[in-house]
Structure 1
Amino acid sequence: MARILILLAVVLGVFWWLRARAEARLAEHRARHAREASQRPAAGPADADAERMVQCAQCGVHLPQGEAIAWRGLHYCRRSHLPDESQAEGGNGNGSGSSGARP
């Protein structure tokens, strides 16, 4: 019976030592990560070059604003998605009270 208790104490001691060692390594890793984060500039070079994304009013595809076609306050991904001007102007003048929404 005494042998079982001694073995149990040794196993628990090893478990406790491994757990304390793992916690110390985790704390060291977090401290190193915090130091590296504080040394990095707030806005990295990738963030400075980032471009605003816009959504195509026709198909919903997101693309960089520099590649989009802006027309009447909306953005489109290609010329074929631009609304036909005769339909856009004719649809608003029919007295239906729509605010330019497509059927």
Structure 2
Amino acid sequence: MPELNQPPSLRALRVTRGLKAVAEGLTRAHADQPMTVRAARSTALRHCLDTYSNDRVANAVLNDVIDALPPVRDTEDRAEYAARVQLQVQGVRA
């Protein structure tokens, strides 16, 4: 178990950065549109391709971010989903 004063791993930082980018991307355009799994994954993909020049790193981060995303609820729009992702980043369960 890591000690409390130990800095987060690079992997954890990349996932956090990816989750923030997904939330921002979903609210930047068409925030009132229905949320889909495809929208979350494509936003995560765009972030990874734009951020990491190494394809292996981009793919690894993409998989980690997708695994960390909360499930999409049937009735929510992109802005509502983005808010849940932001809460998750802050450590709040919603």
The TM-score with structure 1 as length reference comes to 0.22
More RCO (CA 8 Å, sep 6+): 2
Instruction: Name the one with the larger strand percent.
Output: 1
Bigger-Rg structure (1/2): 1
The TM-score with structure 2 as length reference comes to 0.24
